[in-house]
Every structure is written in C-alpha cells, then in structure tokens.
Structure 1
C-alpha cells in the first residue's frame, strides 16, 4: 500500500476559485444606496427598466442637497454638467418626499433648458 505524505491541494484551490467567481459576480449586482432618499408613494408606479446607455442619477435629499451620481453638487455645477450631455442621455431623478418643491422644479428646469428628454422620476409603489 502506498503511503501519502502530502495532501493534494489543487482540487481545493479549484473549488475556492469557483466560489470566488460566484461571490464577485453576485456582488456586482447588489445596488448600494448610500443616500437615504425616502421616495414619495404613487398609485401608478411602473417598474423602471434601464436604457441601453447607463443613466446619470440626480438626487435631492431631505436637506435639499443636490447630488450628481451620489456626489454633492450645487445647481450651478449640475447646470454646467448638463450642457455637455447628449440630448438622448437617460437621466434618473430621485427626490426625497421631504425636499422642497422649489429645488425639484429648479433641477427639472435646468434639465429641460438643455432639451434633455429622457428623464425618469423614480417613486415607490403605494402599498
């Protein structure tokens, strides 16, 4: 009978690589929402289907702070950024229900001034 002095770890490494690939693949699909935006509820909310182009996200939190792709910005900075966008660029707008309506209107007005038409305003479905 042959004596085994060492353990073959190659199958263990193969299994660990497969598990690592699975974890990395599923982790990339988890959406992490750093901003605490409490969306208003609506009765006619539809499921959001992202466009082929990756959308640009705008947020207004309860403290009326504007965000561009989760980075705090002023309305002037956002207006300057909007000038460089393609007219068919998809945009997502999330506004906290405690935010001032005036800030929402100012952001939508800045978007419309640049004739950007692919705007989606996200809400959550009422129970």
Structure 2
C-alpha cells in the first residue's frame, strides 16, 4: 500500500514551505506599485525656491493641507487627493473646515519662486486668521556641485 498518505519507514514529513509563489506575487505587486506611484503625485507645477534647510518632522499618518501659489498668482488648495483652484477669500473657510475635523493637520505653503513676497505674506496672514498655529514653507534643496 503505497499512496500519498502512506509513508514508508524512516521517512519524515516535509516541514518546508515553498516560497516561490509568494516571491512571484511580491514581484508582481512591486511592478504594479512602481508603475502607479508616479501617477499618484499630483499638483500644480511650480518652480520652488532652492534653499538649504532642515526637513520638518515626519507627518506619519497626517495628510497635510498644501496651499500652492503658481507663477500667475493663482491659489490652489490640496486636501488629500483633491486639488482645486480657489480664491484667497475661500482658503480660510476650507482650512477652518478641515481643522475643525482634524486640528493637528499640518498646513504647508508651496509658492513659485517668482511670486511676489507680499502675496505669500498675505496668504500666510489669511491662514493665521483661519487659526493655523504653524505654517510650513516648501522649498527644494539647491543643486549639488558634484
């Protein structure tokens, strides 16, 4: 009687796991994420100022509110996946609505390098009026001379 469940004398059950199918699945997921990740970044294309600065602390699970000023001086507000142009007067209402639900939400300003300083200050004043305690400024690191 030799069958798949009948083991001969001296044969031990195999205690190994075949990980090849697991590796195949992981490689397929890796390729999918590599293809879709660049599509997830969205926003208004702005030429950020280049300065040397320390990055802000990790925001882990807190999705920030990003207010962008493009080269023409138009304002955009990014709330998670939503990106919409808004007038300056409506920014405070939208920020207040988000901060009432999630008071620890970080607020970041992303301004084009050619936007007048006064326009950035006006935006930051509007955010302060809306009750934002701290506003972060987004910049790019300077090009390395290597």
The answer, yes or no, to whether TM exceeds 0.5 is yes
Distance in 2, matches of 1:110 and 1:117, equals 12
Considering Cα pairs closer than 8 Å and 6+ residues apart, tell me whether 1 or 2 has the greater RCO: 1
User: Which deviates the most, 17-26 or 73-82?
Assistant: 17-26
Q: CA RMSD in A?
A: 2.6
Unaligned runs of 5+ in 1: 1-13
May I ask how many residue pairs the two structures share in their alignment?
A: 114
Structure 2 Cα separation of the partners of residues 32 and 101 of structure 1: 27
How far did residue 122 of structure 1 move?
0.8
Aligned twin of 1:120: 136
Residue 94 of structure 1 and its aligned partner are, at CA, apart by 0.6
What's the CA shift string for 1:77-121, capped at 9, x where partnerless?
212112223242111211001112222112111111122124210
The answer (yes or no) to whether the contact 1:88–1:118 under 8 Å persists in 2 is no
Give the TM-score normalised by structure 2: 0.64
Q: 1:50–1:21: structure 2 CA closer, same or farther, 3 Å change rule?
A: same
Closer, same or farther: CA 77–36 of 1 in aligned 2, 3 Å: same
C-alpha contact 1:58 1:92 (8 A) present in aligned 2: yes
Bigger Rg, which one: 2
Tell me by how many angstroms 1:25 deviates.
2.9
* 1:33-67 deviation per Cα after TM superposition (whole angstroms, max 9, x unaligned): 44221111223x12344413111111001110100
1:120 alignment partner, SS class = strand
Aligned residue in 1 for 2:47: 38
Structure 2: gaps (5+ residues):
1-22
Range 47-56 or range 61-70, more displaced: 47-56
Tell me what 1:22 maps to. 30
